[in-house]
Amino acid sequence: MTVVDAHTRTEHPVVTRMRDHRTADRQLRVADMITRFAGSMTFVYLHVVLFAVWMVFLEPSPWPTLTLVVSLEAIFLSTFVMIGQNRVAAFQQAKADHDFVEQETELRTNTELTREIHALTTELLRRA
């Protein structure tokens, strides 16, 4: 996502814009923190310990309350997964749109330069 030249390191403008947008919105920052934690091995280890303690010490079999809690957690976690997917899709679309505009501008500039070079070359050859 970064372009490195001989002197500086710059970020793609869409990366900067999206990061600024996400840091400015408290809800998006919270969603990012939850998604980051839920996608970690710490989350997995914590759940293994909590569920083991719950099953062994807190509730007799067949664990109806645990089943309810796990089901509700799955609903919320799947929502955060979809939020993350939407964020990635929005980023990819914004980057693709930006890159398309940049490429079209570059193509137009190159076409104009090529025509100008052709006209100058033709003029030089005509005078020679």
Mean pLDDT for each consecutive 10-residue tract of the chain (128 residues)?
A: 58 87 85 90 96 91 91 94 89 92 96 97 91
pTM of the predicted structure, to 2 decimals: 0.64
pLDDT of residue 1: 47
- Show the domain range for 14: 2-127
pLDDT of residue 8: 65
| Cα separation, 58 vs 42, whole angstroms | 22
Cα atoms in the 13 Å half-sphere on the side-chain side of 15: 6
3-state secondary structure of 9: strand
Domain tally, the chain: 1
